[in-house]
Structure 1
Amino acid sequence: MVRTRPGLLAASLEKTLKPKIKIFQDLGFSDNDIAEIISNGPWCLKRSADNRFMPTLSVLKSLLGSSAEVAKVLKISGWYLTIDLKKTLVANIEFLESCGVDTEQIIKQIYNFPRFLLHSPTDMKKFVKKVDEMGTCRSSRLFIHAVRVVSSMTDENWELKLKHFSELGFSKDDIFKMFKKSPPVFAVSPRKLKEVKEILLATGKYDLSCIVNDPTSLICSVENKIKPRMLVLGILDNKNLIKKWPSLTTISRLPESKFWEKFVQPYLNEVGELYMVNSALKGRRDATILSSA
């Protein structure tokens, strides 16, 4: 901590450090929580106790319900103790609520993407406007995720992302449809988007329309899910063991154990050993499946 903030050595123990620690203690924070919060964000000790510390902790506790929950957030992002939350976090929450977003959904963002709600209210309104223009309905449970994804990119990077989808062969309508169905797809790297698309189309069983209808397939791990499952299905198809390939919805969302039960276990002689080598099925990586083929 001293290495990152050597100025703390010159700080007054009585006037600067102890008052901050006492505020944490008075609000019910454990000694371990206090130590971890300060260790992760020592700069917070340089902030005003009355003008920053108390207001910030009060706002967070009113939103999250307890000091234990506040501690979870501050361990993730000490930035909350350096920003005027009434002008950022509170204002953004109120604005998103006015857009029809469920409060519980908004609060979850504090834990999962702590900096998302710390944008300026002006920027947040711009993000929402862009999502509206993309056609995502405000009543959709995916609306806030769409806003978050947009907030993670500069205008230039957003345009580059749209251009890349276009270069992959997707029409403007396709792009808008995919964004509405699965906003996180727009956070996937261009290299991965291209790789997944090529793997899926190379099977001859899927085309661009399949991807548009279920873009979550673009988020899946290439090495741990897409490739192993395509290999298995390809072998089963060549041996006429399956009449129809599963939809991309099944490919991307079927739990690993269920995929195993449906497409691997009944055909261990054909694909058992191969699948164990190439897949990353949780709980089965160390299992020994011998192929008698």
Structure 2
Amino acid sequence: MALHALLRRNLTSFFSENLLSPTISNGSLSLHIACFSTAIETKPSTPPSVYEFLTNKHQFPPEVASRAAPILSRSHRPENFDSVLSFFKQTGFTNSHLEKMLISRPRLLAADLEKIIKPKIQVFQDFGFPSDDIAAIISKEPRILQVRLETKLVPALSWLMDLLGSIDKVARALRKSGWLIFGDLENTTLPNVQTLMSRGMSRDQLVRLINYMPRVMLYKPETLSRCLENMDKTEVVWSSKLYVYAVGIVCSMPGGAWERKLQAFREILEFSQDDIVRVLRQNPTVFSVSEDKMRLVKKVLLGTGKYDASSIAKYPTVLMHSIERRCKPRFEILGILESRGFIDKWLPLRVGMIFFPAPAVNLVNWFHQLPLAEHDLKPR
């Protein structure tokens, strides 16, 4: 009898924890039910598993629930998570928002709703953030709900409001980078603002920088200073608009990363120093491309037999274009036009990239149907 009671308890525990687990096959489950139906029928109903709670009650996809369920503490019953999820839904969070949060920060379901979650949401509401902005910001960076209210969240939002001037602009910045909340305002963010403004950056430029490359504001002040010194070494004078992008690009590569990037342009793309200075002055964002993209663009261009590395220096924006959607369809069209006799030689790279309307890929079949050009239709 003791053995029967022990077996009965173990089997009941097994089914209460694993009945709906995706790791149990239908055949195996049917066998267990057939052999021990008496035990299951006479045992009182047990609480649902976390996986069952997430998939059945709140309709989370199985792949999301299966990732979150093992992480959630077993000491918390699924019913305790219901109030947290219900509150988020009432606040304006969609299922998509909640799925993102559950994947990146599942333990939030076990957080104290009254002490941890509600006060942070209330702060955003008191500042005047619309519910859709709150949901977008929090779902992208759920750790915001775990920062200290008085020393982090409120001061950060207050500073951003003072600088950016409106809830819409603050929301746009936080949608891009919730990390602006986590910065050390006194020892990092504000000293960086002072450094940039002391070098001539206006308030409007600072706002554009935050929207373009917000993480620059979170660098250690000494790191930012070294990045700005690297900019000085280029001896480039930027326009007021491009200066913001130059700061963002150069400062996104601290340490020796900037020098390695310049060396890659010299070695892979065969840029001269004059080429580097010219491109830095005219389009600094080009320097954000990876070395792999440099090699791929060069390989595709040289593979046409019509362009060489100097073409990239003359039109560096090609490095930012999609190879498959932008470059290859236009190269194919140029090849068709040349083979049909409509052009004697390919257009310069810059012209070829902007001459045909996007999406050029849709024009390829049309150009394939062109007849051979008559002699008098050839361009003179």
TM-score grouping bracket, smaller chain normalisation: 0.7 to 0.9
Work out which of the residue numbers 274, 281, 291 in structure 2 matches 1:173.
Answer: 274
Change in CA separation of 1:66 and 1:194 when aligned onto 2, cut-off 3 Å: same
Retained in 2: the 8 A contact 1:52–1:81? Answer: yes
Retained in 2: the 8 A contact 1:214–1:249? Answer: yes
Shift of 1:130: 0.8
Deviations along 1:146-166, whole A, 9 cap, x unmatched? Answer: 222222224343343333323
CA distance in 1, matches of 2:104, 2:168: 26
Retained in 2: the 8 A contact 1:101–1:139? Answer: no
**1:59 aligns to 2:159 (yes or no):** yes
Any stretches of 5+ residues in structure 1 without a counterpart?
A: 258-279
Question: What letter corresponds to residue 108 of structure 1 in structure 2?
Answer: R
CA distance in 2, matches of 1:255, 1:127: 39
CA distance in 2, matches of 1:141, 1:124: 20
Q: How does 1:281-292 map to 2 (within 5 A)?
A: 281=360
Shift of 1:198: 3.7
Shift of 1:59: 0.9
Change in CA separation of 1:4 and 1:128 when aligned onto 2, cut-off 3 Å: same
Change in CA separation of 1:114 and 1:283 when aligned onto 2, cut-off 3 Å: farther
Q: State the TM-score, normalizing by the size of structure 2.
A: 0.60
CA distance in 2, matches of 1:158, 1:124: 13
Size of the aligned set, in residue pairs, is 271
What's the % identity of the aligned pairs?
A: 39
Shift of 1:43: 2.1
Retained in 1: the 8 A contact 2:329–2:364? Answer: no
Cα-Cα RMSD: 3.4
Q: Show the counterpart of 2:212.
A: 112
Q: How does 1:1-293 map to 2 (within 5 A)?
A: 1=101, 4-5=104-105, 8=108, 11-139=111-239, 141-168=241-268, 169-203=270-304, 205-242=306-343, 245-254=346-355, 256-257=357-358, 280-281=359-360
Deviations along 1:207-227, whole A, 9 cap, x unmatched? Answer: 444432321122222122222
Shift of 1:204: 5.3
Retained in 1: the 8 A contact 2:329–2:360? Answer: no
Question: What letter corresponds to residue 334 of structure 2 in structure 1?
Answer: L
Shift of 1:197: 2.5
CA distance in 2, matches of 1:40, 1:165: 34
Deviations along 1:60-97, whole A, 9 cap, x unmatched? Answer: 11222222332233233222222233544444344333
Change in CA separation of 1:97 and 1:253 when aligned onto 2, cut-off 3 Å: farther
Retained in 2: the 8 A contact 1:149–1:183? Answer: yes
Shift of 1:232: 2.0
Retained in 1: the 8 A contact 2:234–2:277? Answer: yes
Any stretches of 5+ residues in structure 2 without a counterpart?
A: 1-100, 373-380
Question: What letter corresponds to residue 149 of structure 2 in structure 1?
Answer: A
Shift of 1:190: 2.1
SS at 2:152's partner residue?
A: helix
CA distance in 1, matches of 2:143, 2:350: 46
Q: State the TM-score, normalizing by the size of structure 1.
A: 0.75
CA distance in 2, matches of 1:24, 1:70: 11
Change in CA separation of 1:30 and 1:242 when aligned onto 2, cut-off 3 Å: same
